[in-house]
Structure 1
Amino acid sequence: MASAFGHALLGATLGKLLLPSRPNWPWWLLAAACAVLPDADVIGFKFGVAYDSLWGHRGLSHSILVAALLAGGLVALSRLLQPQAAPPAAGRLGLLLFLATVSHGVLDALTTGGLGVAFFSPFEQQRYFFGFRPIQVSPIGIKRFAGAAAWRVLRSEAIWVGIPCLLLYVGQRILRPAAVNGAG
């Protein structure tokens, strides 16, 4: 897997790109959380869930279906909890949360380790990697993510996640009028 830092950075960047005005920052944070959330499946290891099972790591929780269901559920919840507020348009917010969640599997499919990502679970259990896999796989667990392993992963993510996110952000600042980006 990519680290939580890389996933969150990409989710927040998608938030900034799709909902660029500064008052939308809470949605950027929600997108960052959605981008990290699929890795909650690692709790299964504590309960003996096999890595390659439907409920295992990079299984159902990393699927396109779960990303769509999560995005739809969060959009509906946002409408229930903030009926008087003016949240972003449902379609745009849904797209953001879907892309942020599905980006998790995309980054994981670009890593150098693991069993691949079950993008089409539960309909198909095949796990996939992309042909180009430049991101160093992150160790599972906070205790293992330290020292040389952490440095190796973070350096890789700085290049393959951080730089593209920065370029997208700078490109948005250049291409969009200052009024859309929020003054200051």
Structure 2
Amino acid sequence: MASVFGHGIAAFTIAKVASKKASIGLVVLAILSSILPDIDVLAFNFGVPYESPFGHRGFTHSILFAIIWALCICVLFGKQWKMRYFLVILFSTLSHGILDALTTSGKGVGFFIPFDNERYFFPYQVIKVSPIGVERFFSEWGLQVIFSELKYVFLPCALILIFKLLINRLLKED
């Protein structure tokens, strides 16, 4: 998996790009939504194997889960939520599986569970997979993950945000 930092910055970028004045609430929900799919690591404690549809990188990393989660958030927060907010939560949740499918290890991501239990990786697996567990993250392995994410997640997100800022400034001048 990518680290919580990589997932969080991707969601932050999605929220900021999708909404001119993204509220702190929307940004926080986007970040939490991008981290939520890894709740499936708890399944290890109940003997659920990795390869199971409900194992790690299974259903909670699927497109269907992202749709259901985004709908639940919109229902929970009521009528003031617009389609843009639904899309921010949807794409923030989906970004988790996308980043995981770019990592260097694991058994792939179940994007299409429950319709297809196959696990997928993208052809370019460039993000160093993050260790599971806080104590293992603070090691040389964790440092390699951070450097990998700086290159393949943080830098692209920063460039997108800078580009959006420049576009917004140019549009204000007209």
Residue of structure 1 in register with 2:60 after alignment: 61
Residue of structure 2 in register with 1:40 after alignment: 39
Alignment partner of 2:167 out of 175, 178, 183: 175
Q: TM-score, normalised by structure 2?
A: 0.94
User: Larger deviation: 158-167 or 142-151?
Assistant: 142-151
Instruction: Provide the rounded CA distance (Å) in 1 between the counterparts of 2:108 and 2:164.
Output: 32
Q: Give the alignment's Cα RMSD to 1 decimal.
A: 1.5
Counterparts of residues 28-177 of structure 1 (less than 5 Å) = 28-79=27-78, 87-88=80-81, 90-177=82-169
Shift of 1:149: 1.1
Shift of 1:143: 1.8
User: Larger deviation: 122-131 or 144-153?
Assistant: 144-153
1:21 aligns with 2:21: yes
Instruction: Provide the rounded CA distance (Å) in 1 between the counterparts of 2:138 and 2:20.
Output: 34
Shift of 1:151: 0.4
Query: What is the one-letter code of the residue matched to 2:34?
Result: A
Residue of structure 2 in register with 1:3 after alignment: 3
Percent identity for Structure 1 against Structure 2: 41
Instruction: Provide the rounded CA distance (Å) in 2 between the counterparts of 1:98 and 1:178.
Output: 29
Query: What is the one-letter code of the residue matched to 1:169?
Result: L
Q: Gaps (5+ residues) in structure 2?
A: none
Shift of 1:72: 0.8
